[in-house]
A and B are shown apart, each in its own frame.
Chain A
Amino acid sequence: MNKDFKIYLIDDDPIEVLKLERVIKTLNFNCEFEHFFSGNDAISKLRDDYKNRIIVLLDLNMYKLSGIEILKIIKKEISLKKIPVVILSTSNNIKDISECYKFGAAGYLVKPLRYEDYLLKIQCLLRYWEINEFA
């Protein structure tokens, strides 16, 4: 098992950041966690950091750069392309979902209402990437 990967959360809602932090702590998951309130910050950090193994969790509905725009930028840049991007969104709209996969998303999670459900979903997600190989 390979636990040494980083999780970048891009979401402008501070409570979402708290939620993910708490989940990782609760699950006692051994990984680095960074969060960004804006897409620009995240992308410039990724450009420095791309050689590491990183999973990006991306919210769609954001104030400045939208999630889909950030996804497009990541999937266009030759060095960033390889990074798996998993979407975290409130929308279960079929259009949004297919759009994200079309532009290279590695997964799509709908944020549930209950925190307990959220915890379960994130646990699955982390387990999944734990058993996957990526660079």
Chain B
Amino acid sequence: MTKNEVIQENIRLKDEIKNLRLIQYNLIQNNESKLVNNIINKIFDKFDLYQISWHLAKTIADFLNTDDCVIYEVIESENCLKQIAANGHKISDSGEIINKLQLNIGEGICGHVAKTGVAEIVNNTLEDNRYVSDINFNMSELTVPIILDGHIIGVIDSEHPNKNHFRPEQLTIIENISKIIALKIKNAIDIRDKEKFKNKVLKSEQRLASLIQNLDTALLLEDENRKIIFTNEKFCQIFNIPVSPTLLKGADCTTAAEESKHLFTNPNEFIARIDNLLTRKEKVVGDELIMVNGLSLERDYIPIFDNQEYQGHLWAYKDTTLQKNYNKNIELQKNKYSNIINNMNLGLLEVDNDDIILMANKSFLEMSGYEEFELINKKASELFLGEKEKLQLFNQNKKREKGISDSYELKVKTKLGAQRHWLISGAPNYNIRGEIIGSIGVHLDISDFKLLQSQKEKLLNKIKKSNEELQDYAYVVSHDLKSPLRNINALLSWLKSDNDILLDKTSLEYFKQLDLTVEKMENLINGILHHSSIRENVSDNNITDVQKLINELIPSLHIPSNIEVKIKKTLPSVKGDAVKLEQVFLNLINNAVEHMDKPVGFIEVDYKEHPTEYEFSISDNGHGIEKEDFNKIFKMFYSHRAKSNNSGIGLSMVKKILSIYDSKIELESKLGEGTTFYFKLKK
């Protein structure tokens, strides 16, 4: 090759390089303009932020030879970046962004760019600790802010798995693109925000409308020309309008009142009032209306003004029938109870927590002697109580504060100064919130009852005392009587023994009779002693085994051999003191023995069972008792046969003992054939 040829070749190569550079430049230029064309074409007729962003992300990704491009919206008010569009593997099958990333401003490379507004290429993310991995880890990243009027409104962010993928001139191009589309994006954001707001307003309007439709208050909103703006179900229901409330929109109301006046009990007044309200155009609340069908309504009229200018008015009708009936019922109940309270025979007094009288009924006024005005607002304890009773009441009120109700007796002074005893049943009084606001007391004057009670107690004491005195008297007298008897006996005995030789047979017989008389006298006195010693005592509630008692008793009685005592069946246990019950059986058996006049005698003891008691019977085949003597035999010192040595006290003692056990003795007898005594004892 000649020198010339080499030069030629060099020139050609130079030209070629020049051309290549030109081509390359043109190529890049070409690419850029192609990119711009592409973008403009795709988003020119789009206004939706998301559509715009999707196209932007895809086109830029293609241009940068990568899959990954994301568009962020910077939301300054929330200090964050939100992904609004993405390309490549960040899209799911349904077109949604996977792992929709949200970054704080300043966080990650994107966040950093959103903060500084300076576009960046990171060639090795491993060496940049700001990097935040999205789905896949990428080695290089290109980040460009979208800026409008000095505000960063978004970020374009593209990544690639290889190091050093992005070139500076690409960054420049994307920055240019960013400037071009900024306005478009901003516009789209505004449109979207407006849409959002409109939706919110719409939703709240819908909610309000449905609320009004279903409101329990009938509403009618008219404009200044009395055309209906809206009304609701309840309104149609009350005024018997058979169409849906939405159909009434725009209807003229000028004749409506006239048409529905027949629904009210007083139609003329209804019309007059509406005319009056419409003329005056002043707010009126709580007009009461009564309808022919029995409903009670409450009506509000509210005129509506905008900048002093009359715009229409709102009618609101509330159905108060239930409430009215309820109030009426309460009123009736209240009357009923206040009637009861006033006419009841018990004094009723209501006081507050400081014992100040709030209410007193008629009976209380009568009991206390005060007039109502003398009591109300006075302190109850000051009016009625002495110091001791005040303390008593203080303790009662403490109980009331704890919510305890109970009854107590109190000595009080009436207006006239008379001492009375009241039985008071007190209960705490509560308000609606359940707080104790005082107490209510029911008062009963028990003074007369108290007096009777104390009289009864005195009387009982007196009886008890005189009974005791009587018993003591019987006891003392008996003993005093015994001493002279003993002395007579001693003297007789000495007379007899000292004059033994001088006494003839007759005199000796007299001495014998004297001895017998003295002995009989002693028996009588012993009888009285025994009788007076029978008293009630604790052991009367003991349980006594009658069979055992009889078994021990019979051998000690020295029953003559011609008389047999038979126990028909094993005797039960009964309530009673063993010593007293022994006296009963002893005296009855002795009595039977005493009056036995047959050569072969028998005495039978038996019983019958009743639900709560046993009925014992003691029968004999002895002398028998005449019917007219049935009562006499139980009297003290009555003895059937005058010559008997018996004290005559036995049956009287049986009667007395049984009376202690609320039982009495009965008998059946036939003269010459025998007698049966019956008595009952408790199980």
Which A residues contact B (CB, under 8 angstroms)? 13, 15-16, 18-19, 22, 61, 90-91, 93, 111-116, 118
Contact = CB atoms under 8 A, between A and B. Distances in A.
B229 to A, nearest CB: 111
B493 A115 contact: yes
Contacts of A118: 486, 490
Nearest to A89: B479
Given A118-B486, A118-B490, 20 more contacts: A13-B483, A16-B487, A18-B490, A19-B490, A61-B479, A61-B480, A61-B483, A90-B482, A90-B486, A93-B475, A112-B486, A113-B482, A113-B485, A113-B489, A114-B493, A115-B489, A115-B490, A115-B493, A115-B494, A116-B493
A15 B519 contact: no
Nearest to A94: B533
B107 to A, nearest CB: 109
Nearest to A114: B489
Contacts of B494: 22, 115
B479 A111 contact: no
Contacts of B486: 90, 111-113, 118
Contacts of A13: 483, 487
Contacts of A93: 475, 533
23 contacts: A13-B483, A13-B487, A18-B490, A22-B494, A61-B480, A90-B479, A90-B482, A90-B483, A90-B486, A91-B479, A111-B486, A112-B486, A113-B486, A113-B489, A113-B518, A113-B522, A114-B489, A115-B489, A115-B490, A115-B492, A115-B494, A116-B493, A118-B490
A44 B486 CA distance: 30
Contacts of B482: 90, 113
Interface string B483-527: 101110111111000000000000000000000001100100000
A19 B490 CA distance: 7
Q: What DSSP secondary structure best describes chain B's contact surface?
A: helix
6 tightest CB-CB pairs across the interface, nearest first? A115-B493, A115-B490, A15-B487, A90-B482, A113-B522, A90-B479
Contacts of B533: 93
A93 B489 CA distance: 22
A37 to B, nearest CB: 15
A58 B483 CA distance: 15
A116 B515 CA distance: 12
A8 to B, nearest CB: 20
Interface in B460-493: 475, 479-480, 482-483, 485-487, 489-493
A15 B479 contact: no
Contacts of A91: 479
A113 B519 contact: yes
A113 B478 CA distance: 13
A91 B490 CA distance: 18
A93 B482 CA distance: 14
A76 to B, nearest CB: 27
A61 B481 CA distance: 12
Interface in B517-560: 518-519, 522, 533
Contacts of A90: 479, 482-483, 486
Contacts of B487: 13, 15-16
A87 to B, nearest CB: 14
Contacts of A61: 479-480, 483
Interface in B133-150: none
Nearest to A118: B490
A116 B494 CA distance: 10
Contacts of A115: 489-490, 492-494
A21 to B, nearest CB: 11
A114 B518 CA distance: 9
Contacts of B483: 13, 61, 90
Contacts of B490: 15, 18-19, 115, 118
Which of A16, A91, A115 neighbours the largest number of chain B CB atoms within 10 Å of its CB? A115
A112 B479 CA distance: 12
Which of B475, B493, B519 neighbours the largest number of chain A CB atoms within 10 Å of its CB? B493
Contacts of A16: 487
Contacts of A111: 486
